[in-house]
Amino acid sequence: MGRFEGKVAMVTGAGSGIGRATACRLAAEGARISASDINAAGLAETMALLAGEGHHSQLLDVSQPAACSAAVEAAVAACGRLDVLCNVAGIAGAYRLEEITDELWARMIGINLSGPFYMSRAAMPHLLKTRGNIVNIASTAALVGQVYNAPYCASKGGLNLLSKALAVEFSKQGVRVNAVCPGGVRTALTQAFRVPENPDGELFARLSSLVQPMAEPEEIAGAVAYLASDEARFVTGESLTIDGGQTVS
């Protein structure tokens, strides 16, 4: 499959999990990758796994607007163009309301919501030239309330609607914007997921999926690859849920 032959994809959060799987999947289908992450060691491991040649990497804290702008320009300078932006970088953790400090709130919003906004704003002029697209990694937390997850739900819910707003705004100019809303995915992020002391088991049970075990990062990357490809030409503003039935009502 060569759906991304001749195209350049920028992937944030590429140092592990869904970001790494996405970078590898798009590279395997012919894309030249500009991979970024705040984790230098993880990013280096990802770069060693990519198929093909001519890939680019850089350290990036997506919560910093100037850094996002510089990263996009560096990617375009290195790779010559930009066709796909995958906003994958994110953090998670469960906290009771009284545990949520101003700093924790600002960090969650800064990475999960402001980061994709900064990246999208910087990338849009280049995506307009190539009639490219954006794929954002949201969450089922963008769709339903989840216990002890106020900052995460707020950030991912905002990202989901940011995706829809941009999809409408740029629809006539040929740039598509979509979101993927995963449930449980077996990544380092979920394995290290922070849980409050003495959680309410009944409320936590609401997060259970009908299908077990949880998804693998590569399954989410497959959905990203579809949405980013020309096969999804008629798909924009979509929130593609991959949650094993977690949010079925």
Q: Is 148 a catalytic residue?
A: no
Answer for the pair 177, 167: CB distance below 8 angstroms, yes or no.
yes
Q: Closest by alpha carbon to 69, among 107, 119, 35?
A: 119
How far is Cα 138 from Cα 223, in angstroms, rounded to an integer? 13
Q: What DSSP line would sit under 169-206, residue for residue?
A: HTGGGT-EEEEEEE--B-SHHHHT----SS--HHHHGG
Helices (H), the chain: 17-28, 40-49, 65-79, 102-109, 115-130, 150-169, 188-191, 201-204, 217-228
Write the Ramachandran bin of 174: left for phi over 0, alpha for psi from -120 to 50, otherwise beta.
left
Catalytic residue among 95, 118, 152, 226, which? 152
Residue 36, SS3? strand
How far is Cα 168 from Cα 170, in angstroms, rounded to an integer? 6
Hey, what long-range contacts does 98-104 have (CB within 8 A, 24 or more apart)? 99/196, 100/150, 100/151, 104/151
CA 52 centroid distance within chain: 23
CA 42 centroid distance within chain: 16
Residues with a known catalytic role: 152
